[in-house]
Structure 1
């Protein structure tokens, strides 16, 4: 296992601030080969990061969480892209008990308020997907909203896990341009105006100017929890 000191990570973060996503991806995939995975929701423009990664490592594991409440269009899109690009997708599915719990949470939310939905199930699936890995690549970007504006390109967590955000400095326009340049198919709901696509009960057309304004519309919530459930090492 590759051991990086905090000073090493700080130097890498400084050098990667002006790097292209492909350079960051190559570093992560080569440094942690066999112990790295790339999480993807197969959302609107998710294919861009996947496409970059498979040019470097064709069999990179794609970690896909299926809560049981995804849009049918998402499942179809994921299946089509997996076949088209011969992707190594590792799908983690919610159990019947987890699906039932999420349904109860949604019913309670509709009647009494609150924000809980698939949080527990999704976090459990994320934990499963990260088991045995030392590097988690994710497509978060600083321009996606206030909860993501301060992310670092490399973030250090406990238990020997680094999280890498190759697209941290990219905008939605950058992603769109990449998708067009490489003739990559967009999620079908993207074509209908959805700018952020998650579970069906918690996704709507954007209600404001932010890309994620259509997620949990009307609720005091902006994250599902999979990117916030781990403690960063510098906060531990």
Structure 2
């Protein structure tokens, strides 16, 4: 099994290429407040410190209105402590929106459309994500960089090669903070209606099965 140090080194090389190819203000991290995107955010800030001293990482956070309050509290606290240039993106739906009735439509309306709108409005050229190949069969086939046409941008997945254990090993080695829900047994955090606390199974066993099975369709719409 390949060591974590090599994976971190490759992730750094990818991020250094981003830092030297695009203006840092045109790059944002898709930060959910979860463990994977927090590692991606930390790696990016370290690269910025090296390539563009004094520049703070920019992050977009999709707030569907259905997130765990612990995740929101963690995100807001860490944005302040790390001086993250955070933009919270919210969907344009009414209070009677049928949350989680149609899982694909819900993700489209509460996540994808607000994300694409924010990318366009803020003129983001590169979106860094916390996507990992071992999370889902669809994600296993992803390249480390993907080009999207509408709006035009590149998505880079710096921790694509990391396993769940790699994420935690890096988190502990670097002393990174993480949401308290992980200590309660959650392994993957999504919206409240589509996330359950389960014992055993794979990492995303607590995620809604319909959504997980529809990852190809969601990715085609613009989902991570």
Q: Which bracket does the TM-score occupy, shorter chain normalised?
A: 0.7 to 0.9
Question: 1:56: Cα distance to partner?
Answer: 2.1
The structure whose residues are more often helix, as a share, is 2
Distance 1:50 1:18 in 2: 13
Question: RMSD between aligned alpha carbons?
Answer: 2.5
TM score, norm. by length of structure 2: 0.81
Residue 212 in structure 1 maps to residue 199 in structure 2? no
SS in 1 for 2:73: helix
Deviates more, 1:84-93 or 1:49-58: 49-58
Q: Which runs of 5+ in 2 are unaligned?
A: 1-5, 49-54
Query: Residues 37 and 61 of structure 1 are in contact (CA less than 8 Å); yes or no, is this contact kept in structure 2?
Result: yes
TM score, norm. by length of structure 1: 0.78
- Which of 31, 49, 66 is the matching residue for 2:21? 31
Q: Which runs of 5+ in 1 are unaligned?
A: 1-15, 232-236
The 5 A counterparts of 1:189-228 are 189-206=181-198, 209-216=201-208, 219-222=209-212, 223=215, 227-228=219-220
**1:119-142 deviation per Cα after TM superposition (whole angstroms, max 9, x unaligned):** 312111111221122211111111
Question: 1:118: Cα distance to partner?
Answer: 4.2
Question: How many pairs are equivalent?
Answer: 205
Q: Kindly tell me: are residues 45 and 166 of structure 1, through their superposed partners in 2, closer, same or farther at Cα, counting changes over 3 Å? A: closer
**1:19-43 deviation per Cα after TM superposition (whole angstroms, max 9, x unaligned):** 5211111211331113221101111
- Which of 12, 16, 22 is the matching residue for 1:22? 12
Question: 1:209: Cα distance to partner?
Answer: 2.8
SS in 2 for 1:89: strand
Query: Residues 38 and 63 of structure 1 are in contact (CA less than 8 Å); yes or no, is this contact kept in structure 2?
Result: yes
